[in-house]
Structure 1
Amino acid sequence: MKILLIGEYSRFHNSLKEGLISLGHSVTIVGSGDDFKKYPVDISIAPTRSKANWFITKLRHAIYKFTKTDILLIETGNKFWKQREQMKGYDVVQFINSWSIRTTISKEKKCIAFLEQHNKALFLSACGTDTPWIESLLDTPDVPYHMLTPYLKDSSLKSYYAPALKYVTEPHKELYTYIESKVKAVIPTDMDYHIGLQGHKKATTLIPTPIHIDRLAYQQVPVKNKIIIFHGINRSNYLKKGNDIFEEALRIINKKYASKIEVITVESLPYADYIKAYDKAHILLDQIYSHDQGYNALEAMAKGKVVFTGAGTHFKEHYGLDHQVAIDATPDPHQIADALEKLIVNPERIQEIASHARAFVETYHDHHIIAQKYLEIWNTYL
């Protein structure tokens, strides 16, 4: 089968590609590399000229201020369109979300129409921020807290949450309706998006995020003098990931156990550097407002880390778990500090949870198994 994957978040499409190739299929990824994370792509549509230097960046912002036109989006769309002949003749085209190309809305629709015309079948992944999920969070969500909780508590954060809230503006709602009409199915990748798609007729069963197990060595770090806690911060998602709450929890725990812990904090690292930065850690603080694990959490779990992330009731029930594979992080710094304390005073639990974590990722997220699940769904519609 010949497969075209449009867009990239957190190495999702790269891992899926590797699983599909291992099963004998041909796969091409189109994308920008997800900004500073620099994930590999086969056909690049990264807007390099619009980010060439500080002067062009300032000029871009000035143009946007007076015209509401972002030249970065225009450059991205133009790069896609110039390379469109390489995007014909595929059996499957999968978009990572409704705005995968990241150009102007009108050009995005034009590109989607081109892909529909010149390929067999289109599919849409639900693995990140998109219209139905944001709508479900703003309505009456079936979860006690979520990514928009800080905004709903403090409306002054509206500008900070603008990148997420734009998905419920009329242009993006229309774009979602448009792409939904073109695709055969919408495939959720974790519990958050699965819950958000309840009632949507094109939503399929949940297919977990693919993780390339073979490239992630399981390496439990012996607990010697200090327990090492890793906290990776992406400033653009600081509140959405709950980094402020993690930092408060670390302040609390440091007052009591400063001599027994070491905290490593890094900010906005490229993916290749990030995944190495936490190698010597025992514990990784990932995110708070989710109810499942994202890509960074799953990779860390595969490498033998105890990860603070979404691992609550919805998650445990879905997978039928009767043991801990991760620590459920709630928006309460005292709860997180208490959970850290239990690990500090009972370090043997670190090895136990880490072992369960690796086994869980091997069982439910191995990229070979996940690639086969995608093939089964795609073939249903082909």
Structure 2
Amino acid sequence: MKVLLVGEFSRLHNSLKEGLQELGHEVSIVGHQDGFKNYPIDYPIKKKWDNGFLKKLKVGIHLLSGFDVSSYLTYRQFKKNQNHFAGYDVLQLINENSFYCNYFYEKKILKHLFKNNSKTFLLSSGYDYLNVKYCFETPNFKSVIQAYLLGRISTKSFENVLKFKTKSFKKLHQLIYSNIEGIIASDLDYHFPLLQNSKYLGLIPNPINTNKIDFQPLEIEDKLIIFHGINTANYHKKGNDFFEKALKIIESKYGNKVEIITTRDVPYAAYINSYNKAHILLDQTYAHDQGYNALEAMAKGKVVFTGAEQQFIEHYNLSAKVAINTIADVDYLVNELSFLIENPNEIIAIGKRARAFIEKEHDYIKIAERYIKTWSES
């Protein structure tokens, strides 16, 4: 099977590609190299006019005329290489705005892809029209939109989510849905909003290539090491403000019993190794399930503070913790961290269970097989 994966922002498509290749399929990825993360892309689209004077000029042009220079330049790069993006058995979009273009140029790119490839599928692995609609209409549903509704996130920094509420992105959603075979969710946060959708094909967990991630059983000798990696652009969306407040209390409470490592905007290749000596990793506060960073840390055997709600426990039929469910509450975080610091044997046990869980439920070859089955039967 010949497969084109469109978009990459978490290493999901790279791990899926590796699994598909192990099964003998031909796979390529096209998309933007996502800022500082810099994931491998076969056909990279470069962000141009993205800093300095050219960025200011781009913003000025958009304010005066409404013309989106970034979208136009992305379309030009796609057009230049469009012969590489035809003749695939399966095309999979990572979300409803895989090229980060406005409606006019995203539509032009997508129409070429729909016309020149056999089957198209959509992933729900981030915010999209239906997910955002559901979260706003169901404010009790645990999501980052709760933080926005409470005023913790500014409208300006939330534009990449709010855009899916606009008329143009509703039109883009309708265009995509009229051309896809179906939609696949990558975890429970995207699964629940799609349950009543006629094109929903089900949840396929994120693929993790454990061959590339070494497991080291946790050993606690002198200090307990806590890692907090911050992506500045997503600071409030991940709940980093709650983590930082909790860590100040923990540092004051336990002193030299703990070591806290904090990084900001580290490239993926460095980030994945920056927490190797840590016992605990702080990931995010607004999720039901684990995203990619959390899963990779769990594969290393770390104790991860992330989404692990009751629905997650029931879905995977778990009898013991494989991660620490996390909420946006400083006292809760302090209590959970304190329990682990005072019960180090529990840290070691959770770390072992975390790795076993990843191997059982997220193995990249087993997940690739599930994709092939879903694509073939749809």
- Band the TM-score falls in, shorter-chain normalisation: over 0.9
1:124 is aligned to 122
The aligned amino acid for 1:363 is: K
1:250 is aligned to 247
2:6 is aligned to 6
2:71, 2:105 within 8 Å by CA — same for their partners in 1? no
2:49 is aligned to 50
1:228-267 matched pairs, under 5 angstroms: 228-267=225-264
1:181-200 matched pairs, under 5 angstroms: 181-200=178-197
Q: What is the alpha-carbon distance in structure 1 between the residues aligned to residue 61 and residue 216 of structure 2?
A: 50
2:33, 2:39 within 8 Å by CA — same for their partners in 1? yes
1:57-96 matched pairs, under 5 angstroms: 57-96=55-94
What is the aligned counterpart of 2:167 among 144, 167, 170? 170
What is the aligned counterpart of 2:95 among 97, 103, 106? 97
2:303, 2:354 within 8 Å by CA — same for their partners in 1? yes
How many residue pairs get aligned? The number is: 378
The aligned amino acid for 1:23 is: L
1:303-342 matched pairs, under 5 angstroms: 303-342=300-339
SS of residue paired to 1:148: helix
Shift of 1:231: 0.3
Shift of 1:64: 2.4
1:236-262 Cα deviation digits (max 9, x unpaired): 111110000111111121221022110
SS of residue paired to 2:178: helix
1:15, 1:211 within 8 Å by CA — same for their partners in 2? yes
1:288-303 matched pairs, under 5 angstroms: 288-303=285-300
2:147, 2:153 within 8 Å by CA — same for their partners in 1? no
1:353 is aligned to 350
The aligned amino acid for 1:289 is: Y
SS of residue paired to 2:376: helix
1:225 is aligned to 222
Q: What is the alpha-carbon distance in structure 1 between the residues aligned to residue 25 and residue 3 of structure 2?
A: 8
The aligned amino acid for 1:325 is: V
1:77, 1:104 within 8 Å by CA — same for their partners in 2? no
1:77, 1:102 within 8 Å by CA — same for their partners in 2? no
Shift of 1:141: 4.9
Unaligned runs of 5+ in 2: none
Q: What is the alpha-carbon distance in structure 1 between the residues aligned to residue 208 and residue 140 of structure 2?
A: 27
2:189, 2:289 within 8 Å by CA — same for their partners in 1? yes
SS of residue paired to 2:281: strand
Q: What is the alpha-carbon distance in structure 2 between the residues aligned to residue 85 and residue 380 of structure 1?
A: 28
Q: What is the alpha-carbon distance in structure 1 between the residues aligned to residue 341 and residue 254 of structure 2?
A: 8
1:9-28 matched pairs, under 5 angstroms: 9-28=9-28
Shift of 1:162: 1.4
Unaligned runs of 5+ in 1: none
Q: What is the alpha-carbon distance in structure 2 between the residues aligned to residue 156 and residue 202 of structure 1?
A: 32
Shift of 1:118: 1.1
Q: What is the alpha-carbon distance in structure 1 between the residues aligned to residue 293 and residue 320 of structure 2?
A: 21
The aligned amino acid for 2:44 is: S
Q: What is the alpha-carbon distance in structure 2 between the residues aligned to residue 112 and residue 233 of structure 1?
A: 33
Shift of 1:155: 7.9
The answer to whether the aligner puts 1:34 opposite 2:31 as a matched pair is: no
2:90, 2:119 within 8 Å by CA — same for their partners in 1? yes
1:62-92 Cα deviation digits (max 9, x unpaired): 2223233331221111111111111111000
Q: What is the alpha-carbon distance in structure 1 between the residues aligned to residue 66 and residue 115 of structure 2?
A: 31
Q: What is the alpha-carbon distance in structure 2 between the residues aligned to residue 223 and residue 70 of structure 1?
A: 53
- Range moving further from structure 2, 101-110 or 28-37: 101-110
1:151 is aligned to 148
SS of residue paired to 1:258: helix
The answer to whether the aligner puts 1:378 opposite 2:375 as a matched pair is: yes
2:215, 2:301 within 8 Å by CA — same for their partners in 1? yes
1:220, 1:282 within 8 Å by CA — same for their partners in 2? no
